[in-house]
Amino acid sequence: MKKKNVAKVFLSLMTVSTMMVSVNSLYSYADSNDSNNSPLNNNSSNNNNSSLNNTDNNSIDNLSSQLNYDNFFTKLSPLATKIANKNDLYPSLLLAQAALESFYGQSGLTQNSNNLFGIKSFNGQGVNTDTTEFNGNNSYTTNSVFRTYPDLSSSLQDYADFLNNSRYSNVHRSIATTVEEAAQNIRDDGYATDPDYGAKLIRIINNNNLKSYDSSDSSSQNDYNKGLDINTSVNTNNSQIHNSQTQNDDSKSENIKYNSANGQETFKLSNDYKSYKLSNHAEGSKFQIKNYSWSNKLNSNKKVFADCLAIHKVGSQESKFYRIRLGNDSKRKYWVSEKALDLPNVTYTKTNKKITVKNTDSKQLYNHVYNSPYLSQKIKNTKDLSEDNYNSNMKATIDNNGVKTDWYRIYIAGTGNAWISSKDLSNIKTNDSKKNTYNKTSSGYAYLNNYGKYRLYDKIPGTSKSVKVSNWDKIKVPSDYLVSYDSSGVNGKDNTNWYHININHKTYWISSSALKF
């Protein structure tokens, strides 16, 4: 989606591969190939947020002519940050894409048409120019019509509107936990044909310290805080999914929490799946919801792939939605109520076992039980474990249509809790030891995570009757405070893990559940 002729000054600054980057037509939608289903209107002036009220119109109109390699991010960041924050996007990623797609504002499309992202015209109106596309590793030149904008603000907003569809939902901050994940997701979702597109975006972000823009406050939306609980306003225009709770009391607190996954976990459609609509977003999100019908070719035995769980709460009412693909290779993604899926049952029981991991195979460990309703992410490979023996204080049995599998939760120093299948264990036996054990060679750093729920002790609980407790109200630290630890230990009575941390030059013992590595 680049114009072939580029200002000579940038030939020395951009590698050939970067200059050849090209993007698939931005109108190959996940939900439909019909242009009427596009979230973008052919007339860019119809965008509700196409301009920023508190930005000087004259400076916006002339901004494209002021851009160059040295001032690109400084000049564009005020606009990009506001628009990104209003649309649940990473400002750093928006800026990096604008730089890569426009050759730091020097492309002919940007200079002449205010088109930062090389978005093509769908109605034939615009500017006709050459563009380079990729077919695998081979590039070719073709001719396309590209859109024109009155100013760069309209171009940025139009691109943000484009990302507001189910295909690119995992690019949003509410789902992608890091900008690196979002950058790779936008490549994997089919935005670009260049196989190195995600890596190039990350390189631009890191080389120009663009992450500093991601911490900017937004007055127009609540902070999504990278996937933690978020407050959202109720969109009265949203279509309500079958059996959902209608909110009549505006005073009820509402939030939505996302759990992202690797995308290979599968569930069968339930017997009454057709009673529930497919949607472009989960109910409770800040986006306007569009519903879709099921294909007549599907049936209740059909397996679908889930890669994200949304938990929507309104007061005491809770509903869950899953983002699914109808096929493993499908780029189209939809949100659907949990009631449209036949989810397995999982039973959790406390245990006190000593387990031995098989060292002959390379298997995965997950942050949750694999293929459970909570979904999971890979966090470790068994071949990367430094030990073979671990203590487990929790067992889960997952029943998937009569097929039962046991999983054990273990604790890995420097990583945290991990779940491993009993199939990947060579030995499981009762742990008879009741004594606390210590590892004084364990040291490093971790972030406090929901730490207010956990107490601070001068010793691991159970060590003696004289264990002292310290209150958090006397310790003033932010919620994501980075602390150091110089040793770790295991409580012999309940097999819980503990860390000896340093806060404000004082040391305490705290549960591993209060830390995030």
- Of 31, 158, 265, 307, the catalytic one is 158
Q: Which runs of E-coded beta strand occur in 281-423?
A: 291-292, 303-314, 317-325, 334-337, 341-342, 345-357, 364-366, 378-381, 389-400, 403-412, 416-421
Strands 444-448 and 482-490: antiparallel
In the residue annotation, 158 being an active-site residue is answered as yes
C-alpha 247/C-alpha 493 separation (Å) is 46
3-state secondary structure of 455: coil
Identify whether the C-beta of residue 486 lies closer than 8 Å to the C-beta of residue 498.
Answer: no
In the residue annotation, 180 being an active-site residue is answered as no
3-state secondary structure of 444: strand
- Measured over the CA atoms of residue 36, residue 93, residue 175 and residue 22, the dihedral's sign is positive
- Of 31, 88, 133, 161, the catalytic one is 133
Residues with Cβ within 8 Å of 283's Cβ and at least 6 positions away in sequence, in order, are 238, 240, 241, 244, 289, 312, 319, 321, 335
Exposure string over 244-264, b if 16+ CB within 10 A, otherwise e: beebeeeeeebebbbbbbebe
**CA-to-CA dists, residue 225 to 148, 202, 279, 477, angstroms:** 35, 20, 24, 17
Strands 425-430 and 278-279: unpaired
Quick one: which of 269, 268, 373, 250 has its CA closest to 320? 373
The set of catalytic residues is 133, 158
